[in-house]
Amino acid sequence: MADPIGRQPVADQIGRQLGLLWGAVSLSLIALSPLASAFAGGLPGCPFKSFTGFACPGCGATRAALALARLDPVHALTHYPLPALAWTLFITGGLVAGWRAWRHLPLPQLPRRLPIWARFGIVGVVLVNWAYSIATGV
């Protein structure tokens, strides 16, 4: 609700700025996706995997982004499920948030407190994804 001189409440202003920022970043990532291979070409491989032979918990994030950039979501999701899902949610969420912020529509607030089941769930998903990466030789 706007105050008498037309300024938005603090939470709305912050939400709108963050929504626009997130949307701009998502759009930029989509616009630059044809150049993803060129950007990723200069990155070194994973030293953890190089020395231990096993994938690290973060392995696959770059390759998932590259697969999504060349519009191959099936490959991304089957080989690197969690990173692919995270990238998809990040881009989609950014587009939705940016659009809602642009239209001055309210944005959902993040909860301050995560239920205990959600915390264990997130840790469990990361561990399962790591095990999957090791098992499939990512």
Partner 1 sequence: MAEEPFPPAPPSIPPAAEGASTEGAPASPRMPWEERDRLGYADALIETVKLIVTAPSEAFSRLRSDGDVIWPLLFGLFFSWLGQFFNQIWNLIFGQAMRSMLEGVGDLGPFGQLTPTGLIGTVISISIWPFLFAIFILIGAGIYHLCLMLVGATNTSPTGFEGTLKVLCYVQVSNLASVIPIAGGLITMVATLVLTVIGFKEVHRTTTGSAVVAVLIPVTLCCICCVIFLVMVFGGALAAAMSAGG
**Over the Cα atoms of the chain, what is R_g?**
19
Site for partner 1, rule CB under 8 A: 3, 7-14, 17-18, 21-22, 24-25, 28-29, 42, 44-48, 50-51, 56-58, 90, 109-114, 119, 122-123, 126
CB 68 within 8 A of CB 88: yes
- Judged by beta carbon, residue 4 or residue 103, the one nearer partner 1 is 4
8 Å CB contact between 101 and 107: yes
Q: How far apart are CA 138 and CA 79, in angstroms?
A: 7
The residue among 57 and 74 lying less far from partner 1, judged by its C-beta, is: 57
Q: How far is the CB of 113 from partner 1 (least distance, A)?
A: 5
Tell me how far, at minimum, the Cβ of 91 lies from partner 1, in Å. 11
